[in-house]
Amino acid sequence: MFFLTEMCERYGFYIVQTLLVLYLVEHFYLSDRESYSILGSFTALAYINPIVGGYIADKILGAKRSIILGAMVMALGYVILALDLQLVQLFIGLGIIAVGTGLLKPNISSLLGNLYECGDPRRYAGYTLFYVGINIGIILATGLGGYLHELVGWPLTYFIAALVLLLAGIIFCIGIARYPIPERRVLYLRKWHYLQAVMWITITIAVNILILKQEGLADLAFALVAIISFLTVIYAGLTATPAIRAKLWAYLLLILVSMLFWALYFQIFLSMNLFIDRVVDRHLFGFELPVSAFVSIEALSLIVLGPILSMLWRYQEQRRRGFSVPFKFAAGMSMLALAFALLWLSSYSINAAGQVLVGSLIWVYVSVALGELMLSPTGLAMVTELVPDNLLGLMMGIFFVSLGLGAKLAGTIANCAAISNRVNDLSAIISIYQHAFRLYFMIGGSVALLSLLLIKPIRNLIGTTR
């Protein structure tokens, strides 16, 4: 039940995440810079809104009601996108989708944990199955979404996403009616609680719309979030015991690396999508691949390579040679830097028509997947390992905020690959992308090198020799 609900949720979200930059450029005729800014802000909000969604679940409605409400809210957002109206309606739809994601995504992940007692070995198998559901939803969205918008148009593509989210809500309702899934807290609801939830959701949607619509306000808001998050960790460290303080300093260094990782990672939805759309020959084995299909290569690689990497980690642990958290972060950053090195080199493989050849790009997305597998699950485990129980919820929230800040930074970095409407020559366009990808490689390589140099200091802070 959790598998299917989350698979449907990810389908809808990745329809927007993967196709939005194309929608903004091709349907609304926005510039690359405007499109990058909007998608960067939307992705950031999708990772920051779970703070509000978690609060509503913990203090007002409970996880189950929040998940059902999240599915309904997301479906409404997709319906608004399907109406195919003006740009302001687009902002309203995206603002609603971000709130719905904040209600559903964190709460279904935490509710799943309630199925298992502390120490139950089935917990990891359950979350593994759940993770597979996530990636199947991504593969369906990225594989089918590109064909759908070409065959039936943008409005019907978004309307199908709305139907899928309604299906997610129905599946979850059937599941909780059939299976006794415990809540973390028993909440006794009154009318005031529902009004309070509506108030929080309405305010958050309004803030989201303002941030999406006003680029200057977005920059100010996310800068403020970054400063508050940074100062919160500093304050927690200064008021903690020396042992906990050292681990919090290590946590702070690692989330800074994480933020830079995601700033480059999210280029697969930004500059890389437009690069593939404009200059790549997408014919493979006689078929023309949609732009979004390339992201599905990354999702498929996660499913295939995830168990292999997990077995490697376990094998090393059994030999008492397990890789440390800072090493895995450095390795993940190195794989991402390698991906952009491959992308940069691939951009020079040009056919007779002046287009970039498609074959070499597959390895770019495989390398991105390896980087994600090394850093993302490790980051979640890192928080639970380094942070004391009384700060766990707060610091986990800040970790997800770092993903959101990375997404916003991705929108800014993507401007290096922005193509002006005045540039029509294919070779000139490819040259701009080559310059951008070289810059991304240099940034990724520099952060990877810095991460390698920080391995020993972070180990000392954590208090581990590995």
Residue 137, pLDDT score: 92
Q: Are residues 289 and 394 in the same domain?
A: yes
What is the tens place of the pLDDT at every residue in 46-65?
Answer: 999 988 888 888 788 888 99
What is the residue type of 99? V
Residue 218: partners with Cβ closer than 8 Å, 6 or more residues away? 37, 41, 211, 212, 408
Among 174, 150, 145, 177, residue whose Cα is nearest residue 10: 145
Same domain as 343, residue 422 = yes
Question: What length is written for the chain?
Answer: 466
Q: Give per-residue pLDDT as tens, 195-246.
A: 888 999 999 999 999 999 998 999 999 999 999 999 999 998 898 888 889 9
Do 165 and 241 belong together in one domain? no
The per-residue pLDDT for range 311-336, each reduced to its tens digit, is: 887 787 777 776 788 888 999 999 99
Give tens-digit pLDDT for 391-404.
Answer: 776 787 788 889 99
Same domain, 366 and 466: yes
- Residue 114 · residue 184 · CB < 8 Å: yes
Q: Which structural domain range is residue 188 located in?
A: 1-213
If asked whether residues 284 and 149 sit together in one domain, one would say no
Last residue of a domain, one of 213, 235, 270: 213
pLDDT digits (tens, 9 = 90+) for 136-149: 899 999 888 888 88
Q: Is residue 218 part of a domain?
A: no
- pLDDT tens for 67-113 read 999 999 999 999 999 987 788 899 999 999 999 999 998 888 878 87
For 413-445, the pLDDT digits (tens) are 999 999 987 777 888 999 999 999 999 999 999
Does a structural domain hold residue 427?
yes
Clarify whether residues 199 and 230 are in a common domain: no
Answer yes or no: do 235 and 375 share one domain.
Answer: yes
- CA dist., res. 302 & res. 291, Å (int): 19
Residues 150 and 281 in one domain: no
Alpha carbon distance 237, 240 (integer Å): 5
d(CA 276, CA 28): 19
361 and 400 both lie in a single domain = yes
Mention every residue, 6+ apart, whose C-beta is less than 8 A from residue 310: none
Please give the Cα distance from 324 to 466 (Å, whole number).
Answer: 5
Q: Is residue 44 part of a domain?
A: yes
pLDDT at 334: 96
| CATH number where 275 lies | 1.20.1250.20
Residues 256, 182 within the same domain: no
Q: What is the pTM of this model?
A: 0.91
Condensed to tens digits (0 to 9), the pLDDT of residues 355-381 reads 888 878 899 999 999 999 888 877 777
Q: Is 219 inside a domain boundary?
A: no
Kindly tell me if the per-residue pLDDT of 193 is higher than 60: yes
In single-letter form, the type of residue at position 137 comes to G
pLDDT above 70 covers what percent of the chain? 96
Domain assignment present for residue 314? The answer is yes
Last residue of a domain, one of 159, 182, 213: 213
CA dist 457 and 182 (Å) reads: 42
Of the residues 213, 238, 259, which one is the last residue of a structural domain? 213
User: Does 26 reside within a domain?
Assistant: yes
Same domain for 263 and 184: no
Please report whether residue 138 resides in a domain. Answer: yes
Residue type, 445: G
> Is residue 464 very low, low, confident or very high in pLDDT (cuts 50, 70, 90)?
low
The whole-number pLDDT of residue 465 equals: 47
Structurally, the chain folds into a number of domains equal to: 2
Least confident window among 117-126, 189-198, 293-302, 323-332: 117-126
Band of residue 37 on the pLDDT scale cut at 50, 70, 90: very high
CA distance 462 to 250: 7
- Could you tell me if residue 189 is inside a domain? yes
Distance of CA 219 to the CA centre of its chain: 19
Kindly list the distances between the CA atom of residue 374 and the CA atoms of 121, 136, 235, 453, in Å, as whole numbers in the listed order: 22, 20, 29, 18
**Is 181 in the same domain as 230?**
no
Mean pLDDT of the chain: 88
Percent of the chain with pLDDT over 90: 50
Summarize pLDDT for 6-21 with one digit per residue, the tens: 999 999 999 999 999 9
pLDDT of residue 103: 92
